[in-house]
Amino acid sequence: MAVFSIVLLMSSCGVDRSDPEKVVAEYIRNFEHKNFKANYALLSSLAKQYATEDEYVVDCKGEKGDTLDIEWEYACGLPRQLEKDMANPTYLRYQWITTYHTFSNRKGQEEVDKYRSTITLQNENGQWSVCSPDVLISYAEEKFEDQDYEAVKQAAETILTIDPYNLYGLRYLFTHYRFSDFVTREEKRKNMYKWAMQMQTICPWISSSYLSLYYSEIGNKEMQVEFRKKAIEYALDKSDSVSCYSEVGASIINDITWSRSSQEEALEWLYKAHSIDSTDASTNQWIADVLKHQGKTTDAMKHLEVAVNDLDGLSVYNRGWALSDYSAMLYDLGRYQEALDASQKALTYDANDWTAQSILKKAKSKLKGY
């Protein structure tokens, strides 16, 4: 009966599950050909407990929300086995570079991005299975957007139960402690450092950014900027470089002294990002912030308009901030109706935004002729 079960498993998946290299090769092949049902068959028993085949396929296809507008193709490089964790010999990890060719029907343009793709395999009674918590990752992303950090933590813990080395699980635990209102400052800092260092061990190409956030939290400006700069070493493509340069500039901006030298140093890094991609929303928002403080309102407005016209390109936290700043600039330019509209939209992101509240009140008064 046991032999029959193994033969049945091999035939149903079309791959020899006793050979991890063949399982990885089959997973990548299915991924490139968008044969997601076949990949579901390769999942570990625990992964299947948290996602039905239909849920998994829908998630892989990106059939939720705005992603319906996006079409993409994948091209995967050769996988290599990462260093084995001798404390957990039943797990193996593989990494390869995936190139995404994405086309937005709405924007009418194609973009090419590269990512480090990793999967974890688990040996289940001699058969290698893929530890893929993708559906839970999407759920955690939704809860993060909703700022429901307790739900994010629960999802992250389950993700790491399925795959103990999962980058998203580590990132979301870090995020929970960074933003949660239900932990002490000591707990926050202790756990931010813990999960950032865990990333350093498992995914050094992403951990630098999170260690930078940790050092920002404890007020160590020098180390904060240093780790942002270190992340540049791992840039794979144009998109990575833009993010790295922009984040170095943003880290410098966060200097509470707001010295002129800090502003100029920040702009130097931000303009490096801008020279690579002048449409990047985050970069333009940070440039606008510096120029605004320098009194260069006209130039700041040009950059801020790029950001507010691409809110999806900003983090959920920065969207309200961008709109609030934009409403204030519009008001100063005498464009009261636009200022009112922008302030109202800003308040949908943060109902307590003092600037947006003030501009809304003043713009209404101006429009009434007061």
Burial class (CB in 10 A: 0-12, 13-18, 19+), 261: exposed
Q: Over the stretch 157-180, which tens digit does the pLDDT of each residue have?
A: 999 999 999 999 999 999 999 999
Per-residue confidence (pLDDT) for residue 324, from 0 to 100? 96
Residue 320 covered by a domain: no
- d(CA 236, CA 112) in angstroms, rounded, equals 11
- Residues 156 and 148: beta-carbon distance below 8 Å: no
Q: Over the stretch 104-147, which tens digit does the pLDDT of each residue have?
A: 665 667 778 888 899 999 999 999 999 999 999 999 999 998 88
Angle 19-25-29 (CA atoms, 0-180°, nearest 5)? 145
The H or E element containing residue 76 is strand 70-76
Q: What is the mean pLDDT of the chain?
A: 89
Residue 169 covered by a domain: no
Q: Over the stretch 208-260, which tens digit does the pLDDT of each residue have?
A: 999 999 999 998 988 999 999 998 988 888 888 999 999 999 888 875 456 78
- Under the banding of pLDDT at 50, 70 and 90, the label for residue 332 is very high
Angle 209-306-365 (CA atoms, 0-180°, nearest 5)? 115
319-332 mean pLDDT: 95
Hey, CA dihedral for 182, 188, 190, 196, is it positive or negative?
A: positive
22-50 mean pLDDT: 95
- Under the banding of pLDDT at 50, 70 and 90, the label for residue 88 is confident
Which residue segment(s) compose the domain that 117 sits in?
2-132
Hey, CA dihedral for 246, 250, 252, 257, is it positive or negative?
A: positive
- Give the other-Cβ count within 10 Å of 309's Cβ: 12
Q: What is the distance, to the nearest Å, from the Cα of residue 43 to the centroid of all Cα atoms in its chain?
A: 24
- Residues 134 and 56: beta-carbon distance below 8 Å: yes
Per-residue confidence (pLDDT) for residue 112, from 0 to 100? 80
The helices-and-strands tally (H runs, E runs) of the chain is 18, 5
- Under the banding of pLDDT at 50, 70 and 90, the label for residue 10 is very low
35-55 mean pLDDT: 96
Per-residue confidence (pLDDT) for residue 70, from 0 to 100? 61
Q: What's the CATH code of the domain at 71?
A: 3.10.450.100
- The more confidently predicted of residues 86 and 187 is 187
Residue 68 covered by a domain: yes
Residue 293 covered by a domain: no
* Domain count for the chain: 1
State the DSSP code for 83: P
- d(CA 296, CA 293) in angstroms, rounded, equals 8
pTM recorded for the entire structure: 0.78
What proportion of the chain, given as a percentage, has pLDDT over 90?
A: 67
- d(CA 74, CA 32) in angstroms, rounded, equals 5
Per-residue confidence (pLDDT) for residue 7, from 0 to 100? 39
- Under the banding of pLDDT at 50, 70 and 90, the label for residue 8 is very low
Per-residue confidence (pLDDT) for residue 197, from 0 to 100? 95
Tell me how far apart the terminal alpha carbons of the chain are, to the nearest angstrom: 87
- d(CA 141, CA 147) in angstroms, rounded, equals 10
- Give the other-Cβ count within 10 Å of 342's Cβ: 26
What proportion of the chain, given as a percentage, has pLDDT over 70?
A: 91
Per-residue confidence (pLDDT) for residue 303, from 0 to 100? 97
Per-residue confidence (pLDDT) for residue 141, from 0 to 100? 93
Q: Over the stretch 264-314, which tens digit does the pLDDT of each residue have?
A: 999 999 999 999 999 999 999 999 999 998 999 999 999 999 999 999 889
- d(CA 137, CA 367) in angstroms, rounded, equals 46
Per-residue confidence (pLDDT) for residue 56, from 0 to 100? 96
